[in-house]
Chain A
Amino acid sequence: MDEAQGVSDAGDAGVLARCRGGDEAAWAELVDRYSRYVYAIAVQAFRLSPADAEDVFQETFTRVYERLDTLRDDEAFRPWLAQLTRRLCIDRLRVGSRDTELDEASLAEATDDELGRLEEALAVRVALESLSENCREILDRFFTRDQSYRAIGEALELPPGTIASRISRCLGRLREQLEGRKAVAVES
């Protein structure tokens, strides 16, 4: 098992079992955990248009919902999801390139690096969920929403001068989380 996979798959089995039992909250949790990953595969790895990416996103989660019972190994959920999303992206590109031959081998080669990076990013995002609310908030505002120190300071009622050190401290905690999870994944 590669390290990124070990980290991102932590906890999937329990959620998947609850989804199969009809637990709607578990399904919502699964969607929350993987929605950014699925969308990123469509828009970043395959560079689909926003409209096509939305269709692929919807189709991917519909198929996951319908086929969850066919998944044999819950620890393989993340690669299964990635493969499903990838297939749907290629189908979408094929429809859009009716007049020209779609070279799937070149496309796979071109997207491999980006898919690897997205796997790693997913592992980081899963680790982020285990941090305190304060750390999640400050890291999300700075790195995902691209807010300035000043905007973060105003929103969280913190002096702007303390934001950089808090970000650094939260990143340190995030790194510790990731290293701890990798160690568990390697041991198991």
Chain B
Amino acid sequence: MSTRNHDEERLGKLLSALPAVPAGLVAAAKELPRTRHELDRIVELAAADAEFRRALVDDLETALRAGGHEPNRFVIEELRRRFPA
């Protein structure tokens, strides 16, 4: 095998070395700036509204939907951490 072919073979292997990432994961990571804004907005709202805060603790996802939010997994996990049931 020539040096050129050997180089090509090695380059090909390196090109295959990084696997594709599930598309949803990449999309969620790209959404992080917006997700953080949404999270901050919900936390502010909860700080100002005791009823909403209680609703979050009782049933997080229902309270969010009732408030017009469609949170992703990151927001839900972070809110669960901040407002444990």
Q: Do A and B come from one complex?
A: yes
Task: Assess whether A62 is interfacial by the CB under 8 Å rule.
Answer: yes
Return the CB mask of B1-29 against A: 1 if under 8 Å, else 0. 00010011001101111111110011011
Question: Which of A37-45, A70-78, A151-159, A180-188 binds B?
Answer: A37-45
Provided the pairs A58-B74, A120-B14, A124-B14 are in contact, do residues A28 and B30 lie with their beta carbons within 8 angstroms? yes
Q: Say how far A45's CB is from chain B's closest CB, in angstroms.
A: 11
Of the listed stretches A9-17, A84-92, A99-107, A168-176, name the one at the interface; the rest are far from the partner chain: A168-176
Q: Are A171 and B20 in contact (CB under 8 A)?
A: no
In this assembly, does B34 line the interface, its C-beta being within 8 Å of a C-beta of chain A? yes
Q: How far is the CA of A128 from the CA of B34 in the complex (A)?
A: 29
Name the residue of chain A whose CB is nearest to the CB of B22.
A54
The minimal Cβ–Cβ distance linking A23 to chain B, given in whole angstroms, is 9
Instruction: Determine whether the beta carbon of B19 is less than 8 Å from that of A58.
Output: no
Confirm or deny: B33 has a beta carbon within 8 angstroms of a beta carbon on chain A: yes
Task: Say yes or no: B32 contacts A61, CB within 8 Å.
Answer: yes
Known: A65-B36, A171-B11, A175-B7. A58 touches B18 (CB 8 A): no
**CA separation between A145 and B19, bound complex, in Å?**
9
Q: Does A109 contact B (CB under 8 A)?
A: no
Would you call B74 and A118 a contact (CB within 8 A)? Answer: no
Q: How far is the CB of B46 from chain A (nearest CB, A)?
A: 20
Interface residue from A125, A139, A142 paired with B18 (Cβ < 8 Å): A125
Residues of B within 8 A of A113 (CB): none
Which residue, of B4, B25, B74, has the highest number of chain A Cβ atoms within 10 A?
Answer: B25
Tell me which of B19, B20, B30 has the highest count of chain A C-beta atoms within 10 A of its own C-beta: B30
Cβ-defined contact, B34 with A171, below 8 A: no
Given contacts A22-B33, A118-B17, A125-B18, 10 further A-B contacts (CB under 8 A): A24-B34, A36-B20, A37-B18, A54-B22, A58-B25, A124-B14, A144-B15, A144-B16, A174-B11, A175-B8
**Cβ contacts A to B, 17 pairs, < 8 Å:** A24-B34, A31-B30, A36-B21, A39-B18, A39-B19, A43-B19, A57-B21, A58-B28, A58-B73, A62-B74, A65-B36, A117-B14, A143-B15, A145-B20, A168-B8, A175-B8, A175-B11
Instruction: Show the binding face of A for B, using Cβ within 8 Å.
Output: 22, 24, 27-28, 31-32, 35-37, 39-40, 43-44, 54, 57-58, 61-62, 65, 117-118, 120-122, 124-125, 128, 139-140, 142-146, 168, 171-172, 174-175, 178
